[in-house]
Amino acid sequence: MVDIAPNVHALLTTHCSKTIKRMLGDVWCEALRGNVDLPEELETMDLHVVGRGQYPQQLNDDQNAPPLLYSRGNLELLSCRRVGIVGTRNATEHGRSTAFTFGKTLAQNGVAVVSGLARGIDAAAHRGVLAALSEKSSSESTDNVGPIAVVATGLDVVYPREHHSLWADLGERGLLLSENPPGTGPLPYRFPLRNRIIAALSEVLLVVESRLDGGSLITVREALDRGVTVMAVPGATSTKAAQGTNMLIRDGALVAIEPEDVLMALGLDTRRVVPSFDARQLPLWPDSDVLDLITTDPLTLNEVARLASEKLAMSFGDVAVSLGRLEAHGWLMCTAGWFERVGAR
- Residue 145: what are its φ and ψ, rounded to 5°? -125, 145
Domain membership of residue 46 as a residue range? 5-265
Is the per-residue pLDDT at 26 higher than 70? Answer: no
The span from the CA of 200 to the CA of 218, in Å, is 13
- How does pLDDT run across 101-133, given as a tens digit for each residue? 999 999 999 999 999 999 999 999 999 999 999
Residue 119 pLDDT: 94
Same domain, 292 and 244: no
Same domain, 41 and 190: yes
Same domain, 206 and 308: no
Nearest to 339 by CA among 296, 283, 275, 276: 296
Q: Tabulate helix, strand, coil % of the chain (nearest 5).
A: 40, 15, 45
What is the overall mean pLDDT for the chain? 85
Same domain, 221 and 293: no
The span from the CA of 243 to the CA of 236, in Å, is 8
Against a cut of 0.85, is the pTM above it? no
Nearest to 17 by CA among 220, 153, 212: 220
Residue 333 lies in a domain: yes
Same domain, 83 and 225: yes
- How does pLDDT run across 157-188, given as a tens digit for each residue? 999 999 999 999 999 999 999 999 888 899 88
Residue 22 pLDDT: 64
> How confident is the model over 220-247, as a mean pLDDT?
92
Question: CATH number for the domain including 328?
Answer: 1.10.10.10
The span from the CA of 130 to the CA of 136, in Å, is 10
Residue 143 — pLDDT band, cuts 50, 70, 90? low
> How confident is the model over 136-143, as a mean pLDDT?
53
Question: CATH number for the domain including 30?
Answer: 3.40.50.450
Same domain, 330 and 203: no
DSSP state of 37: P
Is the per-residue pLDDT at 4 higher than 50? Answer: no
Residue 275 lies in a domain: no
Residues whose CB is less than 8 angstroms from the CB of residue 87 and which lie 6 or more positions away in sequence, other chains included: 95, 99, 120, 121, 122, 207, 208, 209, 210, 214, 216, 245
Same domain, 83 and 163: yes
Same domain, 96 and 131: yes
Residue 112 pLDDT: 96
Cα separation values, 275 from 18, 136, 271, 278, Å: 45, 31, 10, 10
> How confident is the model over 307-315, as a mean pLDDT?
91
- How does pLDDT run across 29-84, given as a tens digit for each residue? 665 555 444 444 445 688 899 888 889 999 998 989 999 999 999 999 999 999 99
The span from the CA of 318 to the CA of 324, in Å, is 10
The span from the CA of 327 to the CA of 305, in Å, is 16
The structural domain count of the chain equals 2
**Which of 209, 230, 265 represents a domain boundary (last residue)?**
265
Residue 1 — pLDDT band, cuts 50, 70, 90? very low
